[in-house]
A = this chain, B = another copy of it.
Amino acid sequence: MADLEAAIQALTLEATKQGDSVRALKAQKAEKTLITEEVEKLKAVKAELATLMKQQADEQAAAGGGKMNKETFRKNLSSTLEQNMFYMPSFKIYGGVGGLYDYGPTGAAIKANLQAFWRQHFVLEENMLEIECPAVTPYPVLKASGHVDRFIDLMVKDVVTGACYRADHLLKDVLEAKIEETADAAGKKALELTLAHLDEFGAEELGAELKKYNTKAPETGNELSDPYPFNLMFATQIGPSGMVQGFLRPETAQGIFVNFRDLLYFNGSKLPFAAAQIGQSFRNEIAPRAGLLRVREFTQMEIEHFVDPDNKKHKKFGHVRPLTFLMYPRAQQMEASGAIELNMGQAVDEGIIANETLGYFIARTYLYLVQAGIDHKRLRFRQHLQHEMAHYACDCWDAEVQTSYGWIECVGLADRSAFDLDAHSKAAGVDLTAFQKYDKPIETDVLKVEPSMKDIGKDFGKTAAGVKAALLALSDDAKSAMAAELAAGGASKLGTEAGEVEVLAKHVTIKQVKQKISGKTFTPGVIEPSFGIGRIIYCLYEHSYYTREGDDQRSVFKFTPVTAPVKATVFPLLQKPEFEPYTQRVGDVLTRAGVARKVDETGASIGKRYARTDEIGVPFAITIDHTTFEDDTVTLRERDSMAQVRVPIADVGELLQKLCNLSATWEADVLPKYPAHGTTADQ
């Protein structure tokens, strides 16, 4: 695998050089044949690179299983996940419902841990204002946000059965099948091009393409309707009157935006500040089919960082400036040259990342994911291409994690400018601006308009007040224009309530004066990191799963203590009353130390109980045996090394606390200090 890595690096370098050479030739307006020749070379290098990268992706996805291939890896993983109730299809005894899954005891504990860690890492560390808003949301909020009009997917229906399909997914299946069965290179190429642009198609284009391939409903072979938009929000009625339309929120963000005014006040009217929310969001997917990765109800963790749009520096950017990790900027994507190791400071300094605040959150997200247990070698931050971004967005990056399903978007980080606050301000008729005082008042030249009411009254009579109002309401540009016209001795046209009038020099004086401005009023920009915790958890499962050397049946999750559903299990050797006081005592010691533990008092052998805790990724196990009665020590076993030591009960609480908050390690603080315990029950 190291060879593969080296080969990829070499090819990447070659592709970059070759790309430079093509660009240079083009810039020099070199001969066309020469350019074509170099372009062909570039294509060849890239094709080879793509092959190697696919090979690497497959190998990495199966990394936990050593020599396992992707299918075996995924099968073993999912059967371990299901057997140990990490998740299960919701309402299974009633046949289940597509896109709805339950977290079982193991999965729910991992989710709770990741949420708590997120709260620590973001909310507390950054002094964020965490709030919690209801999922049920009235129509006007989601009308203003754009979701009522634009939160849609295109759908086609089986005209006989009424079964629904996502038009783009259906076309994708069709195209992939065609590519498979097409022999000639040009035809294949054309199909691949269509496939590549699939997500840019509107209803008409999708309809035309589906017709072109004479697409029928997959299950029945019946005719299909034309594609038409389906809004992905779950609709409901609030209250009994039938007059208050509502939806289940499609994202938690809107709850923060509508509270902006109060949050700003709560923060002492100071910017920047961030608000955060963890909660359920709902998307009524047309035909969910990607298992845990595309679901109809899921937990989001979202941050809205409000900032002066003219100053997106971040006070703590210095802390993350030295970090270097995999990024995939727009330029590299255009060349398909793969993600590159990039230094955060450099990325912002060179304008690859739009600003410090966005960069800061990208870096903090990187740290969160890696500390949670995501393999940093299979994590990249991919910049959105221009056409992927909403028109108002400045810059967007996705944290993508590599799995057996390919690269999965787990976190979106977007600089959304002032779009959301402007939309709600307009719709609700409420001021959602902030006022920023300058350090020193600024003195500027302004044009002051002084209407001469005596002459205005004489010449305009009843409409005089309207003329005055129109003069005072002039924009800066209009003031300049009028001043010039009047200075030239002419008349100037002025629109008033009562129609257009002609104004002369005697009616108004426009002059330049100095004015002190103490600050500015503006709608804050918003930088939004948005986490889909369900996807992060699935990726963690893939990155944490492995089987014991030489035994494919012994599954282990190498969860970090941060993530592990339980930090330690306590095993009394036998189901006998004399063990009970010790079991209770060890349990209490761990509780007092804040170490989440479970007691397994089943009569199974210790080896079997070890295997069981391995399968749910518990890092430490404590066994109480007959020696405990003599010397008050217990066996402590580490999951990945399977090493065992003997530790006094008096030490167990503090030791595990330190191991779990990572202020101590097994190698440095346990193995040298405590005697190894001879027989290993893992055999």
Find chain B residues with CB under 8 A from A137 CB.
91
Interchain CA distance A12-B233 in the complex, whole Å:
58
Chain A 447-462 per-residue mask, 1 if CB under 8 angstroms from chain B, else 0: 0000000000000000
Q: Is the CB of B240 within 8 A of A102?
A: no
Q: Judge whether A354 is part of the interface by a CB distance below 8 angstroms.
A: no
Contact B138 A97 (CB under 8 A): yes
B-contact 0/1 string along A108-120, CB 8 Å cutoff: 1101100010011
Q: How far is the CA of A266 from the CA of B622 in the complex (A)?
A: 22
Contact A134 B296 (CB under 8 A): yes
User: Within A73-120, which residues are at the interface with B (CB < 8 Å)?
Assistant: 84-85, 88, 90-94, 97-98, 100-105, 107-109, 111-112, 116, 119-120
Complexed CA–CA distance, A598 and B599 (Å): 35
Whether A135 touches B280, Cβ cut-off 8 Å, given contacts A93-B258, A94-B428, A104-B266, is yes
Q: Is there an interface contact between A155 and B90, defined as CB atoms closer than 8 Å?
A: no
* A102 in contact with B259 (CB, 8 Å): yes
In the assembled complex, how far is the CB of residue A40 from the closest CB belonging to chain B, in whole angstroms?
47
Q: With A and B bound together, what is the CA distance between A661 and B588 in angstroms?
A: 13
- Asked if A430 is an interface residue, CB under 8 A from chain B, the answer is yes
Q: In the complex where A124-B598, A258-B93 touch, is A134 in contact with B297 (Cβ < 8 A)?
A: yes
Q: Nearest CB to that of A128 among chain B residues? A: B105
Known: A259-B88, A262-B92, A598-B124. Contact between A237 and B235, CB under 8 A? yes
B94 touches A141 (CB 8 A): yes
**A135 B297 Cβ-Cβ under 8 A:** yes
B134/A90 in contact, CB under 8 A:
yes
Nearest CB to that of A139 among chain B residues? B94
A649 close to B (CB within 8 Å): no
A92 CA to B133 CA, complexed, in Å: 12
CB distance from A500 to the nearest CB of B (A): 38
Interface: A236 (CB within 8 A):
yes
A257 to chain B: closest CB distance in Å? Answer: 9
Verify A296–B238 contact, CB threshold 8 A.
yes
Is B239 touching A98 in the complex (CB atoms < 8 A)?
A: yes
Q: Which residues of B contact A134 (CB under 8 A)?
A: 90, 100-102, 296-297
Contact A235 B236, beta carbon cutoff 8 Å: yes
Q: Are A108 and B130 CB-contacts (below 8 A) given A124-B598, A162-B243, A241-B164? A: yes
Contact A102 B90 (CB under 8 A): no
Across the interface, do B94 and A138 meet the contact criterion of CB distance under 8 Å?
yes
Q: Is the CB of B155 within 8 A of A240?
A: yes
Cβ of A284 within 8 Å of any chain B Cβ, yes or no, is yes
Q: Are A230 and B234 also in contact (CB < 8 A) when A135-B280, A266-B104 are?
A: no
Cβ-defined contact, A284 with B90, below 8 A:
no
Q: Which residues of B sit under 8 angstroms from A624, Cβ to Cβ?
A: none
Residue in B94, B248, B255 whose beta carbon sits within 8 Å of that of A90 in the complex: B255
Question: Considering only CB atoms, which chain B residue lies closest to A129 in the complex?
Answer: B105
Interface 0/1 of A234-266, CB less than 8 Å to B: 111111110110101000000100110111001
The reply to whether A237 and B234 form a contact with Cβ atoms under 8 Å apart is yes
Closest chain B residue to A430, Cβ basis: B93
Known: A132-B102, A238-B296, A591-B120. A141 touches B91 (CB 8 A): yes
Q: How far is the CA of A240 from the CA of B156 in the complex (A)?
A: 10
The answer on a CB contact under 8 Å between A102 and B131 is: yes
Q: Does A490 sit at the interface, judged by CB under 8 A?
A: no
Partner of A238, one of B246, B262, B284: B284
Question: Roughly how many angstroms separate A235 CA and B238 CA in the complex, as a whole number?
Answer: 10
Q: Known: A163-B241, A594-B594. Contact between A138 and B91, CB under 8 A?
A: yes
Instruction: Report B-chain residues with C-beta under 8 Å of the C-beta of A141.
Output: 91, 94
A597 within 8 A of B: yes
A203 CB within 8 Å of chain B? no
Please give, as numbers and ranges, the residues of chain B lying within 8 Å of A262 by CB-CB distance: 85, 88, 92, 104
Most buried by B among A129, A133, A140, A155: A133
- Closest CB-CB distance, A311 to chain B, in whole Å? 18
Report if A282 contacts B (CB, 8 A).
yes
Neighbour of A136 across the interface among B297, B430, B598, CB < 8 A: B297
- Does A515 touch B at the CB level, under 8 Å? no
Query: Would you give the shortest CB distance from A498 to chain B, in whole angstroms?
Result: 36
Q: Which residues of B contact A296 (CB under 8 A)?
A: 134, 136, 238
Q: Does A506 contact B (CB under 8 A)?
A: no
Look across to chain B and name the residue whose beta carbon is closest to the beta carbon of A424: B93
Complex CA distance for A135 and B134, rounded to whole angstroms: 12
Question: A480 contacts the other chain (Cβ, under 8 Å)?
Answer: no
A125 at the A/B interface (Cβ < 8 Å)?
yes
Q: How far is the CA of A140 from the CA of B90 in the complex (A)?
A: 13
Per-residue B-contact encoding for A217-236, CB less than 8 Å = 1, 0 else: 00000000000001000111
Q: How far is the CA of A299 from the CA of B506 in the complex (A)?
A: 70
A489 contacts B by Cβ under 8 Å: no
Contact: A236 with B238, CB < 8 Å?
A: no
Alpha-carbon distance between A107 and B597 when the two chains are bound, in angstroms: 28
Instruction: Determine which residue in A93, A132, A255 has the highest number of CB atoms from chain B within 10 A of its CB, and name it.
Output: A93
- List, in ascending order, chain B residues with CB within 8 A of A155's CB: 240
A127 contacts partner chain B, Cβ-Cβ < 8 Å: yes
| Interface residues as binary, A592-633 with B (CB distance below 8 Å gives 1, 0 otherwise) | 101011110010000000000000000000000000000000
Q: When chains A and B are docked, how far (Å) is the Cα of A104 from the Cα of B162?
A: 45
Flag if B93 contacts A133 (CB, 8 Å).
no
Task: Specify which chain B residues have a CB less than 8 angstroms from the CB of A286 in the assembled complex.
Answer: 239-240
Using a CB-CB cutoff of 8 Å, which residues 28-68 of chain A contact chain B? none
Q: Which 4 A-B pairs have the closest CB atoms?
A: A103-B132, A105-B129, A134-B297, A93-B428
A-B CB contact pairs (8 Å), 27 listed: A85-B131, A91-B137, A92-B262, A93-B261, A93-B430, A94-B140, A94-B428, A97-B136, A97-B138, A97-B246, A100-B136, A102-B132, A103-B131, A105-B129, A107-B132, A111-B132, A112-B119, A124-B566, A124-B596, A127-B599, A135-B280, A136-B282, A136-B296, A230-B240, A238-B296, A280-B280, A594-B594
Name 9 extra pairs, CB < 8 A, besides A93-B428, A235-B236. Answer: A93-B258, A93-B430, A94-B427, A101-B134, A102-B259, A103-B132, A109-B130, A116-B116, A164-B240
